[in-house]
Each structure stands twice: as structure tokens, then as C-alpha cells.
Chains A and B, each alone.
Chain A
Amino acid sequence: MSELIYKSAAQLSESLAKKEVSAREVTQAHLDRIAKVDKAVHAFLFVDTEGALAQADQVDAARAKGENLGPLAGVPLALKDILAQEGIPTTCGSKILAGWRPPYSATVVKKLRTAGVVILGKTNMDEFAMGSSTENSAYGTTQNPWDLKRIPGGSGGGSAAALAAFEAPLAIGSDTGGSIRQPAALTGTVGVKPTYGGVSRYGVVAFSSSLDQVGPCARTVLDTALLHEVIAGHDDYDATSINAPTPPVVAAAKRADVKGMKIGVVKELSGDGYESGVSERFEESLEILRSQGATIEMVSCPNFDYGLAAYYLIAPSEASSNLARFDAMRYGLRVGDDGSRSAEEVMSMTRAAGFGREVKRRIILGTYALSAGYYDAYYGSAQKVRTLITQDFAKAFSSVDVLVSPTTPTVAFPIGEKSNDPVAMYLSDVATIPVNLAGVAAMSLPAGLSEGLPVGFQIIAPAMKDDRLYLVGAALERELAAKWGGVLTTKAPKLISAAGA
């Protein structure tokens, strides 16, 4: 039974369809695993045991009646705590939302429920998705299952760690500057940031509206594609969602063929600052793709050098406005309301007590960048850089089908190493940020280990060509898995001793 947790979503899907196993059994196995290892990993902020089992029973009942179910019906999933789920605590990793139970569900959550996906609970994250390590969560750091003394990446460290710790075969993340891909890279899992507008943002607590994108996470490329297909598509409730058919991601993951494809290596996303182990795994992956029939060429995107700076003006600017609503008037934390204070004082005290240091830092940065007299120099200039980066991508994609780079410059770093050095922390996302600024699609998948820790390989595709990520990713994964005797996570520590079992 416990073997169930090591299966991929595709394998579970098949067993469930053949009724070799019930959704309840699969769900219970994962709940047991969570009970066993999550004390050590701390991937979850809330486990919805009853809700998950009830949903599993519904799927089993529907299957017994012969209803036509989607491929992921009965497969469990870990949901990043940034998505509103009706009646389920949603904190976004912040004290300011402590105790809030949303009166509505995000569109992605509704789609998951409709598909019969079993939601196990909410996963840990940096507060309001601001961070690259989960150390900014108000509810404690998540540990990397590969080395519990190290961070799992962020902001979606909880979702990534849940996959690597076999607490769930599927997870949902959100990616504003790399919050899906960087944790995927550091935990040896797969994560996709879809094209901006490819997945609805309705019900996803906003960090930076023009950059945020929800995406699928799993341990295999095919599982990621199966989840991608369930959550993607136009939504009337999100004005920025694209009204066009979702690219054929599952078909691409199954085809796994790069023959004749042109792959561009981004010159600016290599060299100084990239650890040698990271660069070596990257080069090996390129070699594999070449051997599979792809042509590899170097591509220059000169404006990527300004990506990080532009990002740290645009994202905090939008965040300073998005986070203004947390004011104690309608929901969440309320501090100082003893009858003697004005509404303004209560707002101020609540925000002082409810937001963590990094969130305050970004609110102040963003407020400053949008201020009269500074707007043009900061926000205005950053938007121009954004346009230039978009043009760099357009130019690159006129000669190659996809771009590739290491996902992160380093492997997972020890907890506490960068928590007092924000700029060093920000550099973790140097290779992932340009993707968000341009709204294109990208995947991170495991390329191997460096000193026993996972290294991520990033693939970038033009907007609404998300299928190319899966075509390339699945081809690379097939060859690497053959070499390793299974996907990378099969080499992950089993965590039994850590959990004290």
C-alpha cells in the first residue's frame, strides 16, 4: 500500500481506472505519508483529511456508477496556500490572513474539483509569495527533503517539497519571478510556469498581477502535462486570461521528440555566478538533446541583464497596491481595536503586526517607486526594460523553437544562509525572472545532482507554445531517467529516519 506514494499520477490514474486501487486508498496512503514525514519537512500548513477522504469517496462512487471520469480523478494534490478554497484556511503564508476561510474558491480550485482531483491540503510558502526559500513564511520554514538543513526554494517550497517527500504526486504553484521553477529545480521535481493568461488567476491572492501565473508541479513531465491540461483555459472572471485553446501539452509530453528542433542557449544566463556542478549538468543535458536530433546554438538576450532590477521595481510596485486591501476592516487579523482607536490606527497597527519583514520591505520599495516624482525614473524605466526583454525573446524565438538555461545559479542553500541578505536571495531568481517579465512559458525539470543536490534545467517557449516545453522536457527526461534508472526523485532520501519511524 505505501508503494502507492511512489507512483506517478499517470500510473495512479491507470490503476484507478482499472479499479486496481480506490481513490480512498490512494488518498489515505498520502495522508499517512504526510502524518509520518511532514513534521520533518513542514510542507503543509493545513491538511484537510476529512475533505480529501470525502472527495475520494465521491470519485469512487462515481466510478462505481460507471461515470465518465477525467484522467486525474482520484489522484491527490497539494495546493499552494495562495489559492482561495472555500471554507479552507487560506493564509498566503502571512499572519495577516490568519483564520481567514474564503467564502469562494479560485477558478483553478473549481477546475480541480470538477476533474475529481483530491485536494489534500494547503502548502507552505514565503509570505505573499515574496521569497526564494520559504524562510519568509510566518508559519516556519519548509525543509528540503534532499537535505533537511537546506531550503526547498520559494516561494512555492511547500508544494515542491511535498512532491519530493512523496506526500503528493501533484501540486499547484504560482510563479511571479520563479516561484514554481526555482523550488522545482532545488527539489528535483518538475514545474511549469504557463504562458501569462494561460491559467486563470481568479482566486489567487495577488502579489504582482502582471507577472503572477498559476502552474502545475509534479515529479514527471507527463504528470505535469496532465495537470496543466486540467487547470488551463479561458476564464470570464480573469480579464487577462487568454481566450484561445490550450496548447496540446499532454500530446507533446507523450510524443517527447526533439528531432529537427532548434534550441537556443541564452548566453546571458550562464557563466559568472553559476556553480560548476550546475553548469556541468546543464551541458550534459544539452548533449543529450543534441544526440536526440536537436540543433543547439547560442543566443544573446542582452537586456536580460536588467531583468532583476526591472522585476524588483515592477513587482513591489504592484504588490504595494495589491496588499493595501489587508486593512483589518473586512477579514483577517485585526489588532488594536479596543474601542479607543480610530479605524486608521487599527489599520496601521494591524499592518505593522501582520506583515513580515520582506513584505514590508517590498511594500515600501513599491510605494516609493510609484511616488510622484519617482514614477518615471523607476516604474516607468522598469516598464521600458520589460518591453526590451520582450523584444529580446521575440528576436530569439524568430530563430529558435525554445530557449534553455540552468533554472538557478546554485543548488539548494542551507537554511539561514541568505535570510539576512535580500539581494543575494533575489539573485536565486536571475534566470527565471525574464520569463515572467515577457509573459512567455517555461519549465524546470531535473538535470541531475551536484554534490548530492538536484540541479534544474529550464526550457522557455513562446507565448501559447507551452506544448514545446513538454516536447523537449519529456525527451530529455526519458534519456536521463534511462541513465538514472528512474526519474530523479527516486534517488531522493526516503526520509524514514528523519521522521523518526
Chain B
Amino acid sequence: MAPTLRLEILTIERKLFDDEVNMVIAPGAEGVLGILPRHIPLVTLLTYGELQVKKEGQDDQFFAIGGGFMEVQPDHVIVMADSAERDEEIDLDRAEAARKRAEERLQKAREDESFDAARAEAALRRSLARIKVARRRRRDHVRGPRREQ
């Protein structure tokens, strides 16, 4: 059995995930981070994106993360996300609609100063992360579960 570390994914509203895993791949603000057991202690910002969890003998799990921060200890990773969803919780149609809305708002923000461009951009990036995670699940579903190599 490969060494494991405990991963917790927390948001203000709930605890989404708490389990021993082999590897965490997280969307760090300064690039994607792969974290294995015995990582050096680290506190980092997270950006919008997908968080991948690898566990021996299981399919990889994916979460859409809407920014936040993360604390890494050698045997423990705590993700404190502003928003976090499991891939199966995401409604792809709604995410697409949100993306469209955000794009329109961003367009308007370019013409009209009173629109909040930063907020629109944040919404856009959030929806893109969700779409990416949801799409991946759909693909895997068609292909069937992947096998460990």
C-alpha cells in the first residue's frame, strides 16, 4: 500500500470530503500543485479550477474549486475553498448558462464602467472550472471506469 495523507475539503457551509488518499492535485494560485505524502509544510492560495484526488484501487475523484486557500502538512492536506462541488453535483446546463451570463456581463463591463468587471470575470472563471469538471465526468462515463496502471 502506497503511503497516504488525509485530505479534508472544507467550505464555510459544510465539510465536503474527509478521507485518506494517495495524491492531491490542486489548482494553486501560482500553478497546479501535485501533493504526495511527506510534502513540506505549505500554505497557499488556490484559484478557480479542478482538484483531483487519487486513491489506490479507486477511480480518481474530481472537485470544482472556486478559489480559497490550502494548508499542507506532511500527512494532512486541508483545502478551504470559497466554493467546492463534487463532479456529480454539477449541473452542466446551469454551469453553461452561468458562463454565458458572465461572458455577457464581461462584454458590457468593457463598454460600461459601472459594471463590475472583476466580479464578472470571477463568475466566468468559476463557471469554466465547473464545466471542465462536469465534462470530464461525462467523458469518463462513456468510456467506462479507467483502470489503474
| A and B are partners in one complex rather than unrelated chains | no
Spell out A's residues near B (CB within 8 Å).
none
